[in-house]
Every structure is written in structure tokens, then in C-alpha cells.
Structure 1
Amino acid sequence: MELQGICHKMHADLANHSVTEQNTQKAHVEYSFILDQSQINLPFTLGQELEIEWTGQIFCVSCGAKTPKSYSQGHCFKCFKTKASCDMCIMKPETCHYHLGTCREDEFAQNVCFQPHIVYLANSSALKVGITRITHMPTRWLDQGATQALPIMRVGSRRLSGQLEIMFGEQVADKTDWRKLLKGEAEPLDLVEVREQLVEEFAPKIQRIRDEFSQNLQFDEGIELLENEQMREFVYPVEQYPEKIKSHNLDKTPTIRGVLQGIKGQYLILDTGVINIRKYTGYEIIIRT
């Protein structure tokens, strides 16, 4: 089989939901490949040999123009410099500057920055804190390869969620170690207990942040503690984890081959190395099985 098109990050979904004895929601993760904006079933299965070839062409995922280099995961330089979705505040939400009147796109801010966000705890390579729009659960956790996740707060804006993430970051990491992620499953954690400890420890700071954002009468940026949320657990389709991590790079080696041993986060785990599919958003690729 051979498929060709513009690569996008894989779509992850959940199947086989169940509730464990610890009252935890557990589900298996299923993946679909995205080529040319169309979702297709993965053209390969675990244990199957596959080949991925980059044709040498990159197309901007925003305007469609051909570009010699990809910026901010699939954009041409012009869109990278002008689109709000490529601004620094997307990576660092606490730096959102809409309230200063300098946002690149007002419509983007209304549709993204001032939508309900979740502050969550997750266990990918280890304990971490993160944020996501409420509509991006559980996608955000699956893209990060989290085996456990627990929403702990619901807030009214991206900047507010970023402030809380920075605050919790004093005690909890906000990054995932991708190498540890791909070497095996993280040790299980009691995220409910961690939530209780963090909320108690940071109560004064949470109140100060709540007071600061309550002064904004234009948007409802309140903080809601999610005390009754259940922990989620995710099982990824992995037959074998690599003992040593070797990363494939299409820019240096346009054609890669290997036997598929697993899929976790946005990574394909091959017996010849791992490849981050999301990294090559906008690249025109050919998949052969």
C-alpha cells in the first residue's frame, strides 16, 4: 500500500472505556493518520514493516504556500510572523497580551484565549502540570503520551490558566521528558492526593490570582476547583519499548524504514528508531507498507 499527502499530527481517540476498582476511568488509545487534512485509518499495524519518505516539499498549513522551511510546526515565515496562533503566548500562555491591546487577531483571542481552560496534572515520563482548552480533553493528554491525567481546575481564560501553571510549576514540572516517555510506562501516581496537597499548599497564591483576575469585567475569568473529577488512565498500543532511544530526522534522512513496535503520544516507535510525526506537520510524505 502507498499513500501520499501533506502530513499533520496523528489523531488519537479512546476506546474500551472501563472503571477500575480505584474508581479510575481507563481506556485504550487508538490512532488515525492525517494526510491532506483527511483522517484515515493507519495503513499499518504493530509488527509490520513500513517506510516513510519525505518528497522534499513543505506546504504552509495556514495559507497553503510552498515554503523552504517549516516554522512553528508547519507554517511559512509570513504566517509565522503574522498569525496569532504562532505568537509566543501560545507556548507561554502567561505572556498573553490581549489586555494590553497588542493581540495579532481579535477573533483568534475570542475563539481560543477566552474559552474555558483546564489546569491538569498528568503522568507521562513523571508528574507534570499542564493546561488545555476544555474542548481539547483528552487529546492534549494523549498527544503528550500521558498514562494518567486529572483535571484540577477550570478557568475562564488562557492567560489565567498560564498564571496557575507557573504557580504550580514551583513544585511540579511543566515539561515531559520525551526520552523517558519512550522507554516505558511511568510509575503510577495518586494524582488525587497530589491535587489535595497542591491546592492546600498554594491556597493563598490561588486567592491572590483569583482577586487579580476578578477585576476584569469584560471577561469571566473565574477559578473553579474540580474536586470531584476522576483520574483517567490511558493504555497505548506498544508491543516493545526501545532500550536505547534513536530519533529519526527526515531533514537529514528523507527515507526511513523499520518495523512498527508501538505508538505513543505523537511518536511512532520503530525497531530502527523513533519519529515524532507532529514535528513534520506540513511535510509532503509518502507512506509505504
Structure 2
Amino acid sequence: MELQGICHKMRAGLTDISVTDHQTHKANVEYKLILDQSEFDLPFALGQEVEIEWTGKIYCISCGNKTNKSFSQGHCFKCFKTKASCDMCIMKPETCHYHLGTCREDSFAHDVCFQPHIVYLANSSALKVGITRLGQMPTRWLDQGATQALPIMKVGSRRLSGQLETMFGTQVADKTDWRKLLKGEAEPLNLVEIKNQLIEEFAPKIQSIRDEFSQNLEFNENIELLDNELAREFIYPVEQYPEKIKSHNLDKTPTIRGKLQGIKGQYLILDTGVINIRKYTGYEIKIRGE
């Protein structure tokens, strides 16, 4: 079976959700391919041979124009320089500059930045703190390959979530080591216990940030502590992790092949190396299962 189209990040979902010991949600992760904005079942299964071929064409996922190079995961250079979704504050939300009157797109700010956000703890390659829009749970955790996650705060804006993430980041990493992620499962952590310790330790700073943002009357930028959330555990479809990490690059090798050993985060784990599907957003690809 062969599929062809413009590549987007895989869509991850959960199946067989259960509650264990009244403290943890546990679920299996499953994936769908997104090509030309349409969803497809994977044309291969674990243990099968996979072939991915880049046709040499790249299309901007914003304006649709053909481009010689992809910027910011699927944009042409013009959109990269003008779209709010490509601004630095997307990567560093604490640098949001809407309040300074310099946002690239006012509508984007209202639709994205001033929507409820979650501050969370996760366990991918190790403990990390992160943020995501309320509607992006559990997608954000699955895209990062987290095996555990726990929402700890609900806040009223992206900048506020970024301030809190930066605060917790003085004690907890805010990055995932993708190589460790693909070498095996992270050691299980008691995220509820860690959350309680962090909230107690940072209580004065949290109150200071709450007081600062409460002065903004235009938006409801409040902080809500999430005391009753259960930890989540995710089981990925992986039969075997690689001993050594070799990363495939379609720009250098337009056709790659290998036996599928697993899927985790946005990575296909092949016996010949791993490939980050999200990295090739906007690339026109052919993908085959044998």
C-alpha cells in the first residue's frame, strides 16, 4: 500500500484508557498519518518494512506556495517572517509582547495566546516542566513522547504560563533529550509528590506572579492550582528500542527504508535509524508499507 501527500505531524490518540489504584490514568497510544490535511491509518504495522520517499517538493503549510526550504516546521520564508505562529514567543512564551502592542497578528493572540493554558509536569527522558493550551492535552504530551504527565496549574494566558514555566525551570528542566527518549522508557516518577513539593517551595513566587498579572483587567489571567488531577501514564507502540541512535535525513537521503520497531513522540523507530515525521511538515512524501 502506498500513500502520497504533503506531510504533517502524526496525530496521536489514546485507546484502552483505565484508572489504576485511583491515582493514575493509563492508556495506549495509537497514531494516524496526516497527508494533505487528511487522516490515514498507517500503511504498515510493527515488524513490517517501511519506505519513505521525498519527492523533492516542499509546500508552505500557511500560504500553500511551493518553497525551496522549510522554516519553522513547514513555512516559506515570507510566512516565517510575518506569521505570529512563527514568532519567537511561540518557543519562549514568557517573551510574549502583545501587551507592548507589537504582536504580528491580533486575531492570533486572541485565538491562541489568551486561551486557557496548562502548566504540567511530564516524564519523557526525565522530569520536565512544560505548558500547553487546555485543548492540546494529551496531544502535547504524546508529541513529546512522555510516559507520564500531570497537569498542575490552569492559567489564563500563554505569557502567564510561560512565566510560571520559567520559574519552575530553575529547578526542573524544560527540555526533552530526544536521544534518551528513543533509547527506552524513563524511570517512573511520583509526579503528584513532586508537584506538591514544587508548589510549596515556590508559593511566594507564585503569589507574586499572580499579583502582577491580576492587574490586567482586559483578560482574565488568573492562576488555578489543580489539586485533584490524576497522573497520566502512556504506553507507546514500541517493540524494540535502538542501542545506538542514528537519525535519518530526507534532505540528504530522499528515500529511506527499514523495519518498523516502534513509534514514540513524532518518531518512527526503524532498524536502520529514526525519523522525526514532524520535522518534514510541508514535504511531499510517498510512504509505503511492505
Flag structure 2 segments of 5+ consecutive residues without an equivalent. none
- Matching residue of 1:20: 20
| CA distance in 2 between partners of 1:225 and 1:288 (Å) | 46
Aligned CA-pair RMSD: 0.5
What is the CA distance between 1:22 and its match in structure 2? 5.3
Specify the code of the residue in structure 2 equivalent to 1:247.
Answer: S
- Matching residue of 1:31: 31
Where in structure 1 do 4 or more consecutive aligned residues deviate above 3 Å?
none
| CA distance in 2 between partners of 1:182 and 1:77 (Å) | 31
Specify the code of the residue in structure 1 equivalent to 2:256.
Answer: I
- Matching residue of 1:117: 117
The superposition leaves residues 236-261 of structure 1 with CA deviations (integer Å, 9 ceiling, x where unpaired) of 00000000000000001000000000
User: Superposition pairs for residues 46-125 of structure 1, below 5 Å?
Assistant: 46-125=46-125
- Could you say what secondary structure the match of 2:81 adopts? helix
| CA distance in 1 between partners of 2:23 and 2:40 (Å) | 34
Specify the code of the residue in structure 1 equivalent to 2:239.
Answer: E
What is the CA distance between 1:23 and its match in structure 2? 2.2
| CA distance in 1 between partners of 2:276 and 2:22 (Å) | 33
- Could you say what secondary structure the match of 1:142 adopts? helix
| CA distance in 2 between partners of 1:174 and 1:2 (Å) | 38
| CA distance in 1 between partners of 2:21 and 2:194 (Å) | 19
User: Superposition pairs for residues 157-236 of structure 1, below 5 Å?
Assistant: 157-236=157-236
Specify the code of the residue in structure 2 equivalent to 1:86.
Answer: C
| CA distance in 2 between partners of 1:139 and 1:237 (Å) | 16
The two structures have a TM-score, normalised by structure 1, of 0.99
| CA distance in 2 between partners of 1:288 and 1:19 (Å) | 37
* Residue-pair matches, total: 289
Q: Does 1:129 align with 2:133?
A: no
| CA distance in 2 between partners of 1:248 and 1:61 (Å) | 22
What is the CA distance between 1:196 and its match in structure 2? 0.4
- Could you say what secondary structure the match of 2:141 adopts? helix
- Matching residue of 1:243: 243
- Could you say what secondary structure the match of 2:179 adopts? helix
Flag structure 1 segments of 5+ consecutive residues without an equivalent. none
- Could you say what secondary structure the match of 1:53 adopts? strand
- Matching residue of 2:7: 7
- Could you say what secondary structure the match of 2:61 adopts? coil
| CA distance in 1 between partners of 2:230 and 2:57 (Å) | 45
What is the CA distance between 1:3 and its match in structure 2? 1.1
